[in-house]
Structure 1
Amino acid sequence: MTSGVSLPEDLPTVWIFHRDGARFASGVFASRADGLSWAAEHRLTGLLTEYPVGEGSYDYAVSRGLFRPSKPHHGKPGHVVDFSPSLDHVHVVDGAVD
């Protein structure tokens, strides 16, 4: 299952694998297929998410009108650091797409 926003084809992105609740990402890949292959090889469970290169997720979303700050905490450090890019992503369970 995938969802998210379609990106301009010239915008560079990477795919990052992150286990639920993990403090650090465990892999960064040039393509969705590479990330899924790696997750399958190691039978991993987590989320493989596409991120824009060179711009934080919060700034990316605000600058493109994908998110409009409307509450006092929007744009504060805690909100920015937890902000999801809302780009393409896929849930993986035991190495298979869920």
Structure 2
Amino acid sequence: MTADNEEVVWIFVGGKNPNPSAAFSSRESAEEWIAQTKLSGTLTAYPLNVPVYDWAIRKGIFKPSKPYQSSPKFIAGFSSAGLEHYHYEDGVNETG
């Protein structure tokens, strides 16, 4: 759960790989694995059962202002920097 008490799944994406390499129910479990394997990449908390596009609109992080921003292609590729996330280098949290 995040600070907003939303249920989340923690997704790890390594380096420049566009595909996730792991999913965890807790940040702690994810960080144990990242440290153990000395991975570099990003760990992000994604809300469960809420599309990121809808989540960002609900949070006021994003507001579609152009017609294409409501298109299926845009929604399918949508990502938000507003999601809780952490960066790792060789298994160490670089975010702080």
Please give the range of the TM-score, normalised by the shorter of the 2 chains. 0.7 to 0.9
Match of 2:17 in 1: 22
CA drift of 1:81 comes to 2.6
Over 3 Å counting, the alpha-carbon distance change for 1:43 and 1:83 in structure 2 is same
Q: TM-score, normalised by structure 2?
A: 0.81
Match of 1:56 in 2: 51
Cα deviation digits, residues 52-84 of structure 1 (max 9, x gap): 000110111113332101133312233223322
Structure 2 alignment gaps of length 5 or more: none
Match of 1:88 in 2: 84
Q: TM-score, normalised by structure 1?
A: 0.80
Structure 1 alignment gaps of length 5 or more: 1-5
Count of matched residue positions in the alignment of Structure 1 and Structure 2: 92
1:97 aligns to 2:93 (yes or no): yes
Partner secondary structure for residue 68 of structure 2: coil
CA drift of 1:43 comes to 0.8
Partner secondary structure for residue 60 of structure 2: coil
Percent identity between matched residues is 36
Q: State the distance in 2 between where 1:70 and 1:40 align.
A: 41
The CA RMSD over aligned residues, in Å, is: 1.8
Deviates more, 1:75-84 or 1:44-53: 75-84
Partner secondary structure for residue 67 of structure 2: coil
Query: What amino acid sits opposite 1:34 in the alignment?
Result: S
Task: Please state which structure has a larger fraction of its residues in helix.
Answer: 2
